[in-house]
Each structure stands twice: as structure tokens, then as C-alpha cells.
Structure 1
Amino acid sequence: MEQRRKYKIQPPSIWELVRRDYLAGDGARQVAARYGVGTEALRARASREGWSRYLQPQTEPKGEAATDKGSWFDGLPDEGAETPDDPAVLARTATVASGRAMRARAWTEARTLAGLAEAYHKLAERADPARNGLTAETAPLELVLDILTMDRIALEDRFWRKPDEVDPVKAAYHEWRRQGSLRRRAHEEVKTRRRSATEARVEALEAQLAGRGIPPVEEDERAARVRLGIDVIAPDGAGTRQMPAAEFRVRLED
């Protein structure tokens, strides 16, 4: 029977060394073996006392000087000289600073600056006169409902663009539509493959039944149309009904 290793109670000075090495990035098992403490005891103390490696200050690679946090903003163009409180300008500035911090592997500062940039971006959207202070979260429910139930043709007319027109909003809409079309096409391909596999299995079972002299069950026309994908069973009101697949696809588009 394997004997468990015995550990003696270590003084606070040893536990301070354990804490130092653990927070420096050494593995729990490695540190525990180094100072003669139990791995579970180390982890329990780390949890109890809040030893978190993620809360430690960022350190630069050896041989490189530590980067001053203020340097993330050094050399940035002063585009907000006339409007220093413009949230759009502040969002761009914070985004550039976040990128600098990320490339310097200062992850904590990069995340903080990215969150700051996102917050300023939302403020800029609310302050945009073209939006009249409206966002998806603040728009009246009546307006949201009108948009969701908007006639398909009217919607396409709003987002129609000329061949040489450059409009990021319209471009984003058409890209969203394209991605949706790709997803629907992939879904149809999956259904087709499943239907083909099911038909092959049914044919194999019918062949086995015929080999045993058992006549297969006769399939009526309605069932055959569903099996062949001509019709689908779709929700309709409080129940379901069989309808042509083309009609069902039109309903999905609407």
C-alpha cells in the first residue's frame, strides 16, 4: 500500500516564499515540492487568501525596460483639440491606445482601454444627430415592431444601393443577408443529405421485407410528397398543415 507523504507545518516565512513563487508563475506541484508543503494545502491557501496571478502587475520581458502606461497615448494626433470631449474622438484614441498596449503584451491595460473605447463608441452613437439619440436599446417599442414587421419590398427599397454607391450601413445589411442565405443553403444541403440517407435505408428495408415475402406498406401520395421534399409539414396557426415546400420558403423569407 502506497504511503502518503507527510508534510510538516511550515512557518509564515516559508509560506511567503510559496506565495511569491506561485504568483511568479511556477506550477502548484513544483512550488509545493520545493518548499515541502502539500499541493492541496497550497491551493486551499491560495483560494482562501486570494492569490491570483491575473491580478499581478504586468512585467516586461527580461532585458526590456518597463513601459510607462502613459506612453500608450504618446504621439497620437490631437484630433480633439477643438472638441476634446467628443466621444467619437475619445473612442478612436482609446482604440489606438488599446492596440499599442496589446502589442506590448500589457494585457490588463489593453482590456481596460478596449472597454473604454467601447463605452465611448456607444456614447458617440447616442450623440449622433442622425440617430436622434436612438439606439436599438432605447428606441420605442412601436418603432421596433414597425421595423420587424416592415414589408419585404419596402425594406429592400430602403437598402437598395447603386452599383458604385459606398454606404457602410447598406453594405452591412447586404452582408447580413448574404450570410443568412449561406446558412439557409447549408441547412437545405443537410436536409437533402439526411433525406437521401433515409430513402436509402427505407429501400434497403423494403428489399429485406421482399426477400422474406412480406409486401411493403403502400405509401399514399401525401406521404410521398413529404418524403420527396415536395411538401413540408409546417406550423399554421394553432396547429400544423402540409404545404408546398416553395410556399414554406416564401413564408420564411417574409
Structure 2
Amino acid sequence: MNWNDIPQAPAPHRAPPRFRLSPEIWEAIRERYLNGESGESLAELFGISISTLRTRAREEGWRKIDAPDPVIAAPPTSEDLARDDRPNFGVMADTAMRRAARAVREGQLTEAQGWTRVGRSLAAAARREHRGREDAV
């Protein structure tokens, strides 16, 4: 065998070299995880395995249930929701779509789908109401 026959790159069957993330990066991962990002997306983003992330979260006690609820938006006021004792469908549609976005971030896709359906229905009602007011003028 000649020395020139030895490949210079690592063999494809060998695992890539291991590396360690700095404490600052782990802190950033922890904050993002507790703020609602999924472990799978964070593992992919930072180039680690999901099992590594879950092990670290378990050992250090990262529990999403202990984290404060994410701030989405202030709840609509009664003035926003009622105009002449009628609901403001535009504000309600916006609220439903914000809840859908939060459900997606939390990985609750079935709930997000329901909120999206509600948001679309309310947006259509807002458009109909707006057209009705334009016709009355």
C-alpha cells in the first residue's frame, strides 16, 4: 500500500468530531427553550442532538411549565370588542391568529389549526361587516 492511497478526509462511517458548546450558548438555548421554542428546532439550529438537549434540560431542571407565559398582546378592551354593542370582528380575528401563532410555537399544531380556522371566519365576518357599512354610506 502506498501512502498516497490513504484518504485525507475522515472515513464516511466515522462520526464527526465532538465539540462542546460554551456556557453562553447553553444559556441562550435555555432561554429560547423556556420561551417556547421546540427542542427539535433548537437542536437543529445549534447542531446538537435532541437527546443531548433533553438530557441537559432534565439535569438542569429546565421545565417549560415553570416558565412564565409568553407575552403575546394585551387583551382587547371592551371598546375594542364592542362597537354599538356589537363585536369587533377584526380585533377578534387578530386575537385568534395570535393564539394560533403561540400554539405553533408551542408545537400544538391541532390547536393552532383550530385557532386559524376561527381567525379566518372572524376575518371574513369583519370584511362582510365593513362592506355593509360602506354600502350604507
**TM-score (norm: length of structure 2):** 0.40
Higher Cα Rg: structure 1 or 2? 1
Of structures 1 and 2, the one with the larger relative CO (CA 8 A, separation 6+) is: 2
**TM-score (norm: length of structure 1):** 0.23
